Amino acid sequence: MVSINSKTDQAQVDSLVERLNSDESFDIHVDKFILKHPGHLPALINLLSLWALKCGKNKVVLPYRSEAEIEALYAYPLILAAIVFAESSCYLNDKKTKVKKISKIIATSYLEIESIFSYRIKAVLEQERFIKLKSSFEDDTTDKLKWLNNEIKRLEASKKKVSKSLFSNSENRLFIGCFDDFPRLDYPKFFYNTSTLDVSNEKKFSGIIQDAFTNVFLKKTSEVITSGVVNELSSIAFELFHNTDSWAKTDFETGQKYKFNCRGAEISILEDITNQEIQNEDVFASFCKSLTIEKLDRIEYKQQALIPNLSAKKIGLFEISIFDNGPGLSVQWLKKDLDKVASNDEYDAILKCFKKHMTSDPSVKAPFRGNGLSRVIDIIKNRGFIRVRSGRMDLSRNFFQFELNKNQEKESLNFDGKETTKSPVRGTIITVLYPFIYTN
């Protein structure tokens, strides 16, 4: 039996992917707690979906003694994914007792997540309505206006309380997943307009990004987090998720949805990374070590004027990881199975996905597509980091060290970190790291 826990690192995940691709089968024990590392949770979820396809009759063992203990799954997304993918082969910690109420457990988890977001959305809409109504009053001493002011304050407190519950059990991390095999989990309200099933607009995405700052940082750093930073991060989250929703749900040949298909996002914030002990020697660690306050301070964005004293500044890091277990970027682009694609062609196809107005869409909508991933590069081209794990490719670029300057076109985009010999994963994981300066 293979155990996935807080000691399971990326090298072990790669090893397990290779074992599954060689048709080895094994049981899996999934723990509540995992290694907190950029892009690691999505990698584990993709691993579980690959395991489900290859080892459907094997066991997933959960860290619970009874079904009654299984709760608050929005705080333990790997457990949620394991339950969704395992179907009828999910067992309790004794490895003998089968979990029987899977549909009920999933429905309960859905209601927990949905009620949180529904309440927040309602609070936002009500607050906006009251603010608009308030602007129509000229006499600010009226009882009506006082009531409106109190209601606006109450709703703001409600938003903060609801949002705080999302982050409280995940140590400054939020995961939201869409699982197509469970109808109530396939189009969560945060990501979608549930009446049209279209991806939500950027305004909804900006709400959760703002919540992250409000509940994780603004108690200490409210004066330095600007709307510009929130808007850029919201754009990254929106563009990445919109891309995966457009291209990763269905088979490129048949148009049928993939079995055990899911897509989602992990959003997290790290404080004072220059003083954190970085144990892993990988591309993420290399990026963190390359960051300097002096250079980041020279990158032009509005919040810098608010912190004139360099010694008072610290570097925070915002992570957005978007993942899916669809065909992969190169397969969708080339419309060929991966085993029929040479590694050089696979690499070139992934590069094309990040170039403006380049799209694999053959329809009449094609002239209006091909901007999403290109827009992400525009935002991080002089400050951020990106890692792309898709098919056999494990690609990364540290834009803080290797900027894509104003005189360069994205045609010259390449990855300074490139591994092409890894065992192929199912789908795609894109992790973006966005550094920013703050002060206590």
**Range 52-56 average pLDDT:** 85
Mean pLDDT of 222-236: 69
Which has more pLDDT, 150 or 263?
263
Residue 113 maps to a domain: no
CATH code, domain with 292: 3.30.565
- Say if 411 falls within a structural domain: yes
Instruction: Tally Cβ neighbours within 10 Å of residue 296.
Output: 17
Give 255's strand partners: none
Residue 118 maps to a domain: no
Name the most confidently modeled range: 141-155, 225-239, 404-418: 225-239
Q: Is 16 exposed, middle or buried (0-12, 13-18, 19+ CB in 10 A)?
A: buried
Residue 86 pLDDT exceeds 90: no
Choose one of 48, 82, 100: the last residue of a domain: 100
pLDDT in tens, 239-277: 898 998 888 888 888 888 787 788 888 888 777 776 666
Structural domain range at position 40: 2-100
Bigger pLDDT: 402 vs 392: 392
**pLDDT (mean) for 359-374:** 51
| Averaged pLDDT, 402-407 | 70
Please give the pLDDT value at position 278: 59
Residue 390 belongs to a domain: yes
Q: What is the rounded distance in angstroms from the CA atom of residue 360 to the CA atom of residue 334?
A: 8
Residue 176 resides in a domain: no
Q: Lowest-confidence range among 48-52, 86-90, 119-123?
A: 119-123
With a cut of 70, say whether residue 136 has pLDDT above it.
no
Tens-digit pLDDT profile for residues 293-333: 777 776 644 444 444 555 667 788 888 999 998 999 999 99
Q: Which of residues 66, 100, 134 is at a domain's end? A: 100
Euclidean distance between CA atoms 401 and 343, whole angstroms: 26
Domain-located, residue 427? yes
The model's confidence at residue 111, banded by pLDDT at 50, 70 and 90, is low
Half-sphere exposure of 78 (CA within 13 A, CB side): 29
109 domain-assigned: no
Contact 212, 221 (CB under 8 A): no
pTM: 0.82
The predicted pLDDT at position 112 comes to 61
What mean pLDDT is predicted for residues 228-238? 82
Mean pLDDT taken over the chain = 77
In a domain, 119, yes or no: no
pLDDT range class, residue 132, cuts 50, 70, 90: low
pLDDT at 333: 93
Looking at 100, 135, 154, the residue that finishes a domain is: 100
More confident residue, 276 or 373: 373
User: What are the helix (H) ranges across 225-371?
Assistant: 227-247, 283-290, 293-298, 329-334, 343-353
Compute the distance between CA of residue 147 and CA of residue 144 in angstroms, rounded to an integer: 5
Same domain? For 225 and 87 the reply is no
Three-state secondary structure string covering 42-61: HHHHHHHHHHHHHCCCCCEE
Residue 222 has a pLDDT of 42
- Convert the pLDDT of each residue in 341-365 to its tens digit: 999 999 999 999 988 654 444 443 4
Flag whether pLDDT at 24 surpasses 70.
yes
Single-letter amino acid code for the residue at 415: F
Q: Count up the domains in the chain and report the number.
A: 2
User: What is the rounded distance in angstroms from the CA atom of residue 201 to the CA atom of residue 320?
Assistant: 17
In this predicted model, what pLDDT tens digit does every residue of 165-196 receive, in sequence order? 444 444 567 777 788 877 667 777 667 877 88
Averaging pLDDT over each range in 9-18, 67-76, 293-302, which range is the top one? 9-18
